[in-house]
Amino acid sequence: MATYQFGEVMETVVTREEFSNEKAKTVLSGETIAVIGYGVQGPGQALNLRDNGMRVIVGQRKNSSSWDKALADGWKEGESLFEIEEALQRASVIAFLLSDAGQIALWPAVRKYLSPGKTLYFSHGFGITFHEQTGIVPPGNVDVILVAPKGSGTSVRRLFLQGQGINSSFAVYRDASGLAREKALAMGIGIGSGFLFETDFRKEVYSDLTGERGVLMGALAGIIEAQYQLLRSRGHSPSEAFNETVEELTQSLVPLVAENGMDWMFSNTSVTAQRGALDWKVKFRDAVAPVMEELYDSVADGREAKRVIESCSAADYRQRLEKELAEIRESELWKAGSVVRQLRPKK
């Protein structure tokens, strides 16, 4: 483990140099890891663990689309692909990677197979942190750990195949064996993390829910819609409004931020853009700050968890979700985006 200075704060970060894949394989050498759920995070984590030499099986409902996807990815029925309860029985490490609502529904079955000495692994702190609403309370004689990749399951796999690695947080909720921290780090390296930073279950879910609703998705989608609609209402064409709102952001500016930071992006734009951005960022920051406070409080007091559980557990949730996504997809903004993407030069 190495210590790095983040501004005035010193943090310990674990990389592959300090915790190699060979060490991870040694830590997990006697374990059978059952990845339960093959939806968002399941495929990337399971495939990376398998490719890194760990003993992995997948638990999924038979005759589902996810079962078929697992077969297509090379998991073999009766060897490495099982019905969920059989996978739970065979596992010594249960990687519980269903959606938050799915975890609540399956928890009674999972709880039944948490015999002493097993490890319960999460990639999100939701179920444990909001246990009063989820009912997820593990027994005291099992390790409970977390590795949370900071990106989608597709990114976990894509970066692994590119020889890179996504950054992840890790946490230990319960160390029944005395080896929980080592197991968490081994799982983090095994799923393809480039580096791991330590947190706890509560902080992970608070930051994650805030980030998803804020800058990463909710705020981004909202501010894009607001600017596009403004430009259209002032007489700009769909292509111009889209290019100035989305295309330049995603194709030019965000890559510059990723490369060397916000100041690097500013320094590589025109003086006019630079000056305007520096002046107006303060106005946007001050306008958004109260919304961010409201958002964090809504996460911390459990209102967001309640909303997620009630909405996502409803029988007609998938139909309502598809209607909401269709409204976005069929809007002029994202129809314009579809045309612009087709016009990009082919690689």
Q: How many CA atoms lie within 13 A of 342 on its CB side?
A: 7
Of 104, 115, 118, 109, residue with least CA distance to 83: 109
Report how far apart, in Å, the C-alpha atoms of 131 and of each of 118, 221, 294, 332 are.
Answer: 20, 30, 23, 42
* Alpha carbon distance 124, 96 (integer Å): 9
| 95 Cβ contact list (under 8 Å, min separation 6) | 33, 34, 35, 36, 42, 45, 46, 121, 123, 187
For 116-151, the DSSP string reads TT-EEEES-SHHHHTHHHH-----TTSEEEEEEESS
* Alpha carbon distance 136, 125 (integer Å): 11
Task: With beta carbons less than 8 A apart as the criterion, state whether 53 and 28 touch.
Answer: no
* Alpha carbon distance 244, 107 (integer Å): 47
Backbone angles phi, psi at 24, to 5 degrees: -60, -40
Of 78, 123, 76, 68, residue with least CA distance to 97: 123
The token pair that represents 71 in the structure block: 């077969």
Q: 261-266: long-range contacts (C-beta < 8 A, 24 or more apart)?
A: none
Give bridge partners of residue 36 from the DSSP assignment: 59, 96
Whether residue 124 lies in the annotated active site: yes
The active-site residue, picked from 124, 174, 183, 213, is 124
Q: CA-CA-CA-CA torsion for 323, 324, 326, 327, nearest 10 degrees?
A: 120
Residues labelled catalytic = 124
